[in-house]
Amino acid sequence: MGGSRGTVTALVEANPSFREVATALGGQQLGRPWWESFSDRALTKLVRQALGNNLELQAVAARISQADAMLRQAGGRLFPQVDGSGSYAVRWTDGDSSQDKRATSTNLGALLDWEMDLWGRLRSAREADRLERDASISDWLGARLLLSASVAETYFEILEQNRQLLLLEKQIENNQTLLDLTELRFGQAQSSIVDVLQQREQLAATKTRVPTIEGRLQQLTYALDVLLGLPPGNGPTLSGKELELPPASLRTVGVPANLLQKRPDLVASAQRVAAIDHEVAEAIADRLPRLTLGGSVSGTGGPGLDTIITNAVASVAAPIFDAGIRKAEVRRRQAALKEALSSYSNNYLSAVRDVETALVLERKQAERIDLLNQQLDTAKKLLRETRHRWGQGLTDYLPVLNAVVTVQGLEREVITSHRELLSSRVALHRAIGGPIDSEHQH
């Protein structure tokens, strides 16, 4: 999510009718967009493009219009309903005279109907619809969060696959050099045909990785295009630049409490709990008597309004016997409220779990990268030593081959680990509800 001002602007741009609806976001302090913490201009551009063009996000935004219309309907029921009617009639009658007789009549009227909301039934219904409207806004914010996270994860994996291709090109070149060297030594009777075949197999194994990565890269590119609201194959081309490490790690102090205020899905869940609570109040009030005021004014005559008739009425309607229908409706809504409360509590626990899990995974992934780098350094030293001994004829080629396989595998694993660390940070942003407050950083 972005800052509150930018998010409100985005809501209005999604549909001009949201201008009044967007005020529901005015009190939220959402901070700077979370993806800007990566300091990656290409990522920022992609996320902004997706937020502006993604079709699924536009569909979620359309639900706000529907909810807002229902809110307006519920609010309108609190006011008098006035219907007007009018008619003009012409009647001809045949008589004995040489000229037909013609008569005209005019009728104009207005009918008033107004239910007095004595027990708050209509007000409860309006408040429930308002909360549902606000929950649909939270759904839209949640969809923006999930979309931006999906764009970031896809973007980082594309960078990873590009880096893997560049690394494979280098590894294939190195393997080809080793193959040439083993063939040269074989020709000089300094090594066996087994050494040559082993290196040929290693070169072929490295080459077989290329189609798999190229296929995955194309798949990710198509997925990103759709996230951007574009036909597959029409999106931007991304380079194979280095995967930068995410910003400094975080601590957990204060994070769970903030979930109530920041995670859109939890906010929406809380709003729907409150909406159902008002629906319970509406159902209870429906069991009480209703007072309705009515009246009408009509004028008839022809061709003018010769007669004015005014009528006023007050009526009371109270349920006497309905076979327990209204009582059952109260119980149904109370059960729905209990269900919503349990679901909300479970969602909150799941959200806390998501945050704690993301923090642990990010911390452990950073530790793993450090260990991988140490292992890679040792493996490179071993490769240099085994090649030196092999070149002096002190050992066969198998230790060199094993060292090559280990080094190249670790090089590929380091790239993947860097991407996984970035994905862990994206998962943390998604779990925390978007931007991370500065007091959580150290």
d(CA 406, CA 381): 12
The CA angle 120-121-122, to the nearest 5 degrees, is 95
> E strands within 52-166?
81-93, 101-116
pLDDT of the residue at 256: 61
Inter-helix orientation angle 4-14/41-53, to 10° = 40
Judged by average pLDDT, the poorest of 91-105, 173-187, 269-283, 321-335 is 91-105
Domain boundaries, the chain: 4-77+119-287+326-440
Return the H-helix or E-strand segment holding 166: helix 121-187
| Cβ neighbours of 244 (radius 10 Å) | 13
Among 215-219, 267-271, 419-423, 435-439, the range scoring the smallest mean pLDDT is 435-439
Q: How confident is the model at residue 201 (pLDDT cuts 50, 70, 90)?
A: very high
3-state DSSP call for residue 195? helix
Residue 230 amino acid letter: L
Local confidence band at 442 (pLDDT 50, 70, 90 cut-offs): very low
Highest mean pLDDT among 76-90, 95-109, 406-420: 406-420
Confidence tier at 29 by pLDDT (50, 70, 90) = very low
What's the pLDDT at 98?
Answer: 54
The answer, yes or no, to whether residue 2 has pLDDT greater than 80, is no
Whether residue 205 is predicted with pLDDT greater than 70 in this model: the reply is yes
> Which amino acid is located at 286 in the chain?
D
pLDDT at 253 over 50: no
What is the average pLDDT across 270-295?
A: 91
Which residue would you say has higher pLDDT here, 26 or 294? 294
Superfamily (CATH) of domain 4-77+119-287+326-440:
Outer membrane efflux proteins (OEP) (1.20.1600.10)
pLDDT for residue 252: 45
Count CB neighbours of 85 within 10 A.
11
**pLDDT over 80 (residue 72):** yes
- Residue that wins the pLDDT comparison between 82 and 91: 82
Q: Sort 97 into a burial class: Cβ within 10 Å, 0-12 / 13-18 / 19+.
A: exposed
pLDDT of the residue at 18: 53
pLDDT confidence band for 192 (50 / 70 / 90) = confident
* Mean model confidence pLDDT for the chain: 84
- Distance between CA atoms of residues 152 and 43, nearest Å: 7
Identify whether the C-beta of residue 135 lies closer than 8 Å to the C-beta of residue 271.
yes
* CA 86 – CA 64 distance, rounded (Å): 37
pLDDT surpasses 90 at 22: no
Can you say how many angstroms the Cα of residue 154 is from the centroid of all Cα atoms in its chain? 15
For residue 63, count CB atoms less than 10 angstroms from its CB and return exposed for 0-12, middle for 13-18, buried for 19 or more.
middle
